[in-house]
Amino acid sequence: MALGLILSLAVGMVRGGSLNRLVDFEFKAFWVVIAAFALQFVLNTADATKAGPVVTYFALIHVAVYAILGYALWANRSTPGIPVVMAGAGLNFLVIAVNGMRMPVSVGVLQWAGMPDQAAALEAGRALTHAVLGPGTRLWFLADVLAIPRPFFRPAALSLGDILMLVGVFIIVQGAMLGAGAKAGGKAA
């Protein structure tokens, strides 16, 4: 997401967009999104092999993250790009929900992307929110089966839902920087 946001900002600047417009862009329930990302960060950094309340209630917390994010997206649904983000988040939640509230990840994709440590952690069962993609994985084609490999500064495994969310964020940033997001979810700059 960070790389997508940086690219969106760079393209917005090249197109003559204004960072001031982006700062002035009004996103309803912004702090709710921050709360969802904070909860997701806690889940992503937790070690599944250690006991604790986060591990015990991770599925409930994961559902809460998507519910909170869904609320914020719904509140901004008329903003250009938000429906695309909603579709991506929906696809991610679908594949997570049918696979025990864990996103399946291809170990081969992690290896190819240059992420051997993440592949080892996944195979060792330390990843709380992710699981090894295997023959029993439901909707595997919606899982993390795509990659941004090295030499990118931050290689990653991605899903189709992630790609849609990145496209949606790009549309939102472009609209905000160029002044097109003035109606519904934003205000004119």
The tens digit of pLDDT for each residue in 47-77 reads: 888 878 888 888 999 999 999 999 999 999 9
In a domain, 17, yes or no: yes
| Cα–Cα dist 111/152, whole Å | 14
Q: Is the per-residue pLDDT at 146 higher than 50?
A: yes
In a domain, 45, yes or no: yes
Q: Can you say how many angstroms the Cα of residue 133 is from the centroid of all Cα atoms in its chain?
A: 19
In a domain, 30, yes or no: yes
In a domain, 151, yes or no: yes
Question: Into how many domains does the chain fold?
Answer: 1
In a domain, 186, yes or no: no
The tens digit of pLDDT for each residue in 6-46 reads: 889 999 999 998 888 888 888 899 999 999 989 999 888 88
Structural domain range at position 146 = 2-178
- H or E segment to which residue 83 belongs: helix 82-97
In a domain, 24, yes or no: yes
In a domain, 189, yes or no: no
In a domain, 163, yes or no: yes
